[in-house]
């Protein structure tokens, strides 16, 4: 019987591994060897990884790939992508190649506003707290001046602080809704530090005010935290060309192809079940770049999907149009990204990814990332309305199946050649491998 352990975080890494292996796995020696195999051979790099999070016992590797030939605003990029899913990098690369000779991608940042909130409960009169806030607002900024000084030197800082009455949604609920500009930093620590100072100032000023001393009204600060929903931190990416230039596939007329793309996007706008998978494909591209550049993909995912439902129904993040003989395909998406701070200056591969991208600013990275999402979606929709998604995906997945059954190099060569002319499925690969081995 396994018993709870005290002081696990204080154990050495070897002791942690030994405890996990002995208590939770069936083969202690195999577990230990496996975990140690994924350590970095450079002790300095391994120590860096060990200190990223708590209780580390090894590293978990994901493939680091490159999608080349992305022409973005007339500059050529090779985009680093970190992802485990078959065909994502190949699909992005294919979309990049398709648009390379059709004008490439255009991208622009529409806004960079980020949000944080101080949530509090107040049981008094709404007009009185509104009047109190007018006096409080300059004090909030003044008390945070030391925190914002360096950010302001870089062109960032506090943009605005609003009092929002949310009592219709929840009894006695109010918030300080605060907006920030954080320049090249994602800014989470900066925003949260400012918010905590705001809450201290709010507490102090309210306690000394007539609302408390005379009216005996109460104010309870619940929490202070940034929001990962950033509907005013938006980047737009697009591609367009004359319909007749959509002529790469000889099996489908350009006009028919353009209309099929348009219909597929319209379906994703109208049908949430389709929209979720449609947008998941977009996030294949976005998350892969976000991971490669050391940003927070969970925050990005949460904010993007909230944005997809901003009108009350979950819908497509991409759009398409056909006007005056021009096909246009575009995306507007919230992306709060950074190129300084966090892992960007610590993780060796993150630093390399940013170097490959020519050391972009946060706004440049927003553009590149949005383009990756748009390219991924175009590639997916293009496959769906022509050959179907499985033909390309399963051929990329073939290698995973072969590795699962420990195929030799000669077996891989033979079966890759065989499935150039046959449909790939898990059962078909297993059967073909068995027949090959029987021979």
Kindly report which listed range (183-192, 234-243, 341-350) carries the lowest average pLDDT score.
341-350
Distances (CA, A) of 122 to 174, 214, 223: 7, 15, 14
DSSP secondary structure, 326-366, as one string: EEEEEEEEE----SBSGGGGT-HHHHHHHHHTTS--HHHHH
Fold annotation for 114-227 = Alpha-Beta Plaits (3.30.70)
Task: Indicate the pLDDT class of residue 396, thresholds 50, 70 and 90.
Answer: low
pTM flag (> 0.85)? yes
SS (H, E, C) 399-435: HHHHHHCCCCHHHHHHHHHHCCCCCCCHHHHHHHHHH
Kindly report which listed range (239-253, 330-344, 358-372, 377-391) carries the lowest average pLDDT score.
377-391
- The single residue listed with the structure tokens 């590639």 is 379
Task: Indicate the pLDDT class of residue 417, thresholds 50, 70 and 90.
Answer: confident
From CA 111, how far away is CA 335, in angstroms rounded?
A: 10
Task: Indicate the pLDDT class of residue 400, thresholds 50, 70 and 90.
Answer: confident
Residues labelled as active-site residues: 85, 280, 296, 393
The predicted-structure confidence for 61-71, as pLDDT tens digits, reads as follows 999 999 999 99
pLDDT at 402: 84
Kindly report which listed range (39-43, 205-209, 228-232, 398-402) carries the lowest average pLDDT score.
398-402
For residue 388, pLDDT beyond 70: no
Q: Residue 251 CB: number of other CB atoms within 10 A?
A: 7
Radius of gyration of the chain (CA): 27
pLDDT at 389: 58
Provide mean pLDDT across the span 6-24: 96
Give the burial string for 266-295 (b: 16+ CB within 10 Å, else e). Answer: eebbeeeeebeebbebbbbbbbbbbbbbbb
- CATH 3.50.50.100 given to domain 65-107+234-387: no
The predicted-structure confidence for 65-100, as pLDDT tens digits, reads as follows 999 999 999 999 999 999 999 889 999 999 999 999
pLDDT at 394: 61
- Residue 127 φ then ψ, to 5°: -65, -35
pLDDT at 278: 98
For residue 142, pLDDT beyond 60: yes
Task: Indicate the pLDDT class of residue 395, thresholds 50, 70 and 90.
Answer: low
Q: Does 344 or 31 have the greater pLDDT score?
A: 31
Kindly report which listed range (89-93, 356-360, 429-433) carries the lowest average pLDDT score.
429-433
What are the extents of the domains in the chain? 8-50, 65-107+234-387, 114-227, 393-438
The predicted-structure confidence for 103-116, as pLDDT tens digits, reads as follows 999 999 999 999 99
Q: Does 45 or 439 have the greater pLDDT score?
A: 45
């Amino acid at each position: 019987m396994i018993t709870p352990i005290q002081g696990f975080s204080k154990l050495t890494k070897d002791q942690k591994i030994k405890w996990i292996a002995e208590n939770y796995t069936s083969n202690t020696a195999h577990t230990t060897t496996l975990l140690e195999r994924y350590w970095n051979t450079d002790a300095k790099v391994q120590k860096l990884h060990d200190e990223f999070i708590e209780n580390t016992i090894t590293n978990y590797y994901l493939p680091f790939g490159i999608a080349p030939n992305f022409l973005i605003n007339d500059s050529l990029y090779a985009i680093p992508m970190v992802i485990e899913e078959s065909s994502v990098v190949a699909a992005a690369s294919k979309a990049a190649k398709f648009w390379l000779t059709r004008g490439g991608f255009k991208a622009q940042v529409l806004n960079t506003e980020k949000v944080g909130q101080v949530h509090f409960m107040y049981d008094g009169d709404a007009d009185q707290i509104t009047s109190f806030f007018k006096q409080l607002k300059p004090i909030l900024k003044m008390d945070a001046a030391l925190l914002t000084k360096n950010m302001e030197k870089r062109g960032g800082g506090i943009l605005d602080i609003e009092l929002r009455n949310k009592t219709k949604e929840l009894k006695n609920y109010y918030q300080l809704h605060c907006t920030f500009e954080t320049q090249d930093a994602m800014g989470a620590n900066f925003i949260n530090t400012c918010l905590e100072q705001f809450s201290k100032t709010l507490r102090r000023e309210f306690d000394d005010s007539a609302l408390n001393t005379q009216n005996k009204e109460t104010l309870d600060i619940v929490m202070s935290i940034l929001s990962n929903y950033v509907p005013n931190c938006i980047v737009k990416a697009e591609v367009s060309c004359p319909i007749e230039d959509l002529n790469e596939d000889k099996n489908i007329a350009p006009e028919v192809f353009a209309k099929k793309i348009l219909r597929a996007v319209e379906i994703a706008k109208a049908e949430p079940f389709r929209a979720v998978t449609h947008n998941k494909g977009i996030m294949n591209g976005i998350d892969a770049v976000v991971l490669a550049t050391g940003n927070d993909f969970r925050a990005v995912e949460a904010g993007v999907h909230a944005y997809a439902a901003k009108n009350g129904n979950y819908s497509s993040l991409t759009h398409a149009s056909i006007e005056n003989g021009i096909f246009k395909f575009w995306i507007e998406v919230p992306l709060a990204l950074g190129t300084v701070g966090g892992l960007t200056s610590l993780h060796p591969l993150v630093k390399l990814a940013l170097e490959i991208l020519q050391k972009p600013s946060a706004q440049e990275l927003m553009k590149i990332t949005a383009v990756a999402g748009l390219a991924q979606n175009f590639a997916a929709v293009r496959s769906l309305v022509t050959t179907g998604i499985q033909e390309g995906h399963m051929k990329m997945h073939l290698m995973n199946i072969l590795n699962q059954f420990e195929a030799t190099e000669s077996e891989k060569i033979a079966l890759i050649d065989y499935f150039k002319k046959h449909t790939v499925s898990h059962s078909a690969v297993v059967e073909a491998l068995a027949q090959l081995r029987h021979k």
